[in-house]
Amino acid sequence: MDLTPKSMKYRHSFHAGNFADVHKHVTLVALLDALLRKDAGFLYVDTHAGRGSYALDPAQAEWRDGIGKVLGATPRSPELVRWLALGCPKPATYLGSPMLAAAVLRELDRAALYESDPVECAALRESLAARARTHVACSDGYQAIKALLPPPQRRGLIFIDPPYEEPADFERVGEALTNGLQRFATGVFCVWAPIKHLDDLERWVTRLARRITRPLLLSQLWRAPRDARASLAGSALLIVNPPWRIEDRMRAWLPELQRILADNSGAGSAVSLIAPPAV
């Protein structure tokens, strides 16, 4: 089985603000807010951070079917309203995961942001140069999981959002989750994956669930039938150790987001909790 979306050569700047970005970033802010409800600090790790801030180029069409549709709607769910206020701080600008985190983290929290592309990394480092307790590294984010976990705070969110340009990316994600949970069993891990075909996604998630003895929450948002192998049909997020109330709240705001973004009868969304296997 080859899960790699070969036609989807991922570039942060090209895809910024598309429907998958909206799905992952609304969820990310909701997860960060859940950790912020406690007074104790925590560590945020972003393994594939990108440059963090993107100009919405009128010549690029993808954002029009993502953030463009949300801007043209009137979201009601608190999670959508909250993210929208953070994600577009000024016209024609879209914030990615590291800048969203920087906007909400407190002085007692710490961020470690990794980006392997030197140009993107330099731009991110410049944007966050004045922010204390934020480390930007131009290196492999998977290595950060081994180097930084467990954090001294014993609380943390690890966001794994690889480009899936290589067949090995899916296996590397599995290894990263396994290694991370061995070091930090109570940490919150959030992984993004493309949906090309539902059967492939379900087999991948099933294999991961056999290796992970922690609760898993799977969130899916698709704009085309999930057997559309020729393009990106949908977006999936796998959350390990989902914080309290995340599942309930996601069941409220994800259908609303689906309605805003949908443009055909094949669109849909789903939230499912996968219990750890019996021991």
∠ at Cα 264 (259, 267), nearest 5°?
A: 55
Place of tokens 């570039």: 11
Kindly report whether the peptide bond that precedes residue 255 is cis, defined as omega within 30 degrees of 0: no
What stretch of H or E contains 102?
A: helix 97-104
The tokens describing 8, both together, are: 């989807």
In 3D space, the residue among 237, 233, 93, 269 whose CA is nearest the CA of residue 159 turns out to be 237
Instruction: Choose, from 161, 169, 199, 248, the residue flagged as catalytic.
Output: 161
Residue 85 near residue 72 (C-beta atoms within 8 A): no
Residue 200 near residue 38 (C-beta atoms within 8 A): no
Q: How far is residue 246 from each of residues 57, 256, 272, measured CA to CA in Å?
A: 33, 15, 12
Q: Does the annotation count 161 as an active-site position? A: yes
Q: List residues with catalytic annotation.
A: 161
